[in-house]
Amino acid sequence: MKRPLHVWSVFGLVSVILVASAGWFSVRYVRNEEARIRAQLSSEQDQSIRLALWRMDSLVIPLIASEAAKTPESFESTGVVFVGDATSVTNSSRYVLLNFQACTDGSVTSPQAVITNLQEEEEQSQQQVAFEPLNTLERLAELQQNLNVAKLTSLLPEAPVISGQFDVVANGYFDNNGSNIVQNNAVYPPAVKGQRSEKVIADYNTRQVRLQQLAQQNAIDNYPMTMSPLTSIGTSQPLWLDGRLIIARRARVGGLDVVQGVWLDWDALRRDLLEEIDDLFPEARLEPIIAADTETTGNVLAAIPVALLVDDVVVARSGWSNQTVALIGAWLGLVVAIGSVGYLLYAVSSLSERRAAFVSAVTHELRTPLTTFQLYSDMLAEGVIQDPQQQKEYLETLRSEATRLGHLVENVLAYARLENRPRTPQQLISFADLMQQIIPRLKQRTVSIEGTFQSPADFPEVQVKVDASVIEQILFNLIDNACKYGVRRENAVIEIETTIEGKCVHVDVFDNGPGIDPQVKGRLFQPFSKSDREAAATVPGLGLGLSLSLGLAKQQGGSLTLVDTSKPGARFRLELPVQATP
């Protein structure tokens, strides 16, 4: 028992190591695969983000360039504007809430905040023109109350450009925070971070160049050929001031330093920007970038200080990829390999145990009759036994032992042939004729016991396709077992009973002996189920008869079972298929 235990221990240890290694590899493989898919999805998302930024900048850049290219004089308040000249005070874009000019003394004026002469026009025209100035006056009042001119001035580039020239710094995000771009660790793996940062900055610079080109072109179109030496403009800067989106610049008009700016309608602009990218990112958000804010992913517009925020990439587990199928196949292969090796070890161990059991049982079964043969033959040969009657008894004993040994050898050979030979030739025969041929031999086996053998006078007239010699051997083994184990009482009876049930004929062999021990039922049909101790303590036998009979019954297309019964004794049932009558 120690050797099989050692073998199974080694097998278990190796199996655990293999499974653990395969599990570690699978986890690493799955993680790497998810990282690859995440990187691929991130790359696709980056392309969509760049496209979205281009779309939004394409909407905003003309607005920024147009407003930034206005002449310094267009920001000055002109006093009274008549209705017929309304185009000079209305905004060029619906996104502009107010153009304003702030002086160093804190005063704020707007060219849209005018006093109109409404008495010379009809009432309908008065209402159409007066509505906008009234709203503008409210905005101007709000701006005058809340605008911190000193703070706004400090946020703008200090040195003005040369008189008559033009420049725009877009939102300046990468100028201030380019080295502090916070990447999303959950989306971009380390191998992609640097590459993505370079792509983001390069794409941003391209869009900023586009803004500069368009702004310069607008400046050329709008500015006069010559400008007063007392007039100069600084770099336009889009920025957020107290929650307001403003484009502002320093300027000098008539020798006076002022700040000129545009207050944009962020709510309307944001709504239209999101509509531009609704097909790419329906759940996107636009968030202002404050000067000290660095918590962005670098997805910023070139025209205004606004960041595009999108949801993180999510790796969806859908479908069966080729890699998943390959991994499952590898696991199945590993399981099959371990199972095959385990089955092989079990088969070898089982074969070894069966061989040991066979050697043990055969050794015991052969030792007793051979001892009897040697002793009786020596006594007869040397003339020790002179009494003729006693000599006859010794000879009968020798013949009985020879018969038993012959039956033992026949069973062993039959069992060996059963495992190696194909199905024996079968012929269609009458079941009644078959039983009539077999009964005499069965009855002869029961002559030596003190009991009664009973069999039906008539048998069912049905056809079966079997090997008659095989059926005879099965029933003989059952009768032999009944003679050995089922007649340990007075008035012992061994009986055969036949019945038809459905398309099968049943042959029951039963006795009224002590029956089958419940502890033995589990291994009743196992070959060589007797140990050497059991063989010594019970009647002679290898424990092979029932296993052989079961195999032969299956070979004939039937079955052999132990039938549970409330009556004393054991009842075995041989079931054979009935052939249809032609």
Region of 319 (left: φ > 0; alpha: ψ -120 to 50; beta: rest) is left
Instruction: Indicate if the pLDDT at residue 124 is higher than 50.
Output: no
Structure tokens at 234: 């600084």
- Residue 544's pLDDT is 74
Cα separation, 352 vs 526, in Å, equals 15
DSSP for 262-306 reads EEE-HHHHHHHHHHHTTTT-TT-EEEE--TT---S-S-B-SSSSE
533-536, long-range: CB < 8 A, 24+ apart: 535/360, 535/361, 535/364, 535/365, 536/364
Average pLDDT over residues 270-289: 90
* Lookup result for tokens 């949801």: 311
Per-residue pLDDT tens digits for 430-459: 999 999 999 998 888 887 777 788 888 888
Per-residue pLDDT tens digits for 179-220: 322 222 223 333 334 445 566 666 667 766 766 666 566 555
Give the global pTM: 0.49
Cα separation, 227 vs 165, in Å, equals 10
Average pLDDT over residues 486-507: 84
Average pLDDT over residues 248-271: 88
**Per-residue pLDDT band at 489 (split at 50, 70, 90):** low
Q: Which one-letter DSSP state was computed for residue 115?
A: B
Question: Domain-by-domain residue ranges, the chain?
Answer: 14-309, 328-577
Cα separation, 96 vs 81, in Å, equals 19
**Per-residue pLDDT band at 317 (split at 50, 70, 90):** low
- Residue 391's pLDDT is 83
Per-residue pLDDT tens digits for 318-375: 566 777 788 888 899 999 999 999 999 888 887 787 777 777 777 767 777 788 888 8
- Residue 106's pLDDT is 83
Query: Higher confidence at residue 221 or residue 36?
Result: 36
Residue 553 near residue 509, CB atoms below 8 Å:
no
Distance of CA 264 to CAs 169, 268, 304, 530, Å?
17, 9, 11, 101
**Per-residue pLDDT band at 298 (split at 50, 70, 90):** low
Q: Which one-letter DSSP state was computed for residue 104?
A: T
**121-130, 246-255, 456-465, 468-477 — which is least confidently predicted?**
121-130
What is the identity of the amino acid at 448?
A: S
Cα separation, 568 vs 551, in Å, equals 27
Instruction: Indicate if the pLDDT at residue 266 is higher than 90.
Output: yes
What is the identity of the amino acid at 19?
A: V
**71-85, 112-126, 370-384 — which is least confidently predicted?**
112-126
Average pLDDT over residues 49-76: 84
Structural class in CATH, domain 328-577: alpha beta
Residue 42 near residue 188, CB atoms below 8 Å:
yes
Cα separation, 86 vs 78, in Å, equals 12
**240-249, 304-313, 521-530 — which is least confidently predicted?**
521-530
Cα separation, 481 vs 497, in Å, equals 17
Average pLDDT over residues 46-53: 88
- Residue 69's pLDDT is 78
**64-73, 276-285, 315-324 — which is least confidently predicted?**
315-324
- Residue 377's pLDDT is 85
What is the identity of the amino acid at 172?
A: G
Instruction: Indicate if the pLDDT at residue 222 is higher than 60.
Output: no
Percentage of the chain exceeding pLDDT 70 = 72
Mean of the per-residue pLDDT values of the chain: 76
Residue 411: partners with Cβ closer than 8 Å, 6 or more residues away: 477, 542, 544, 545, 548
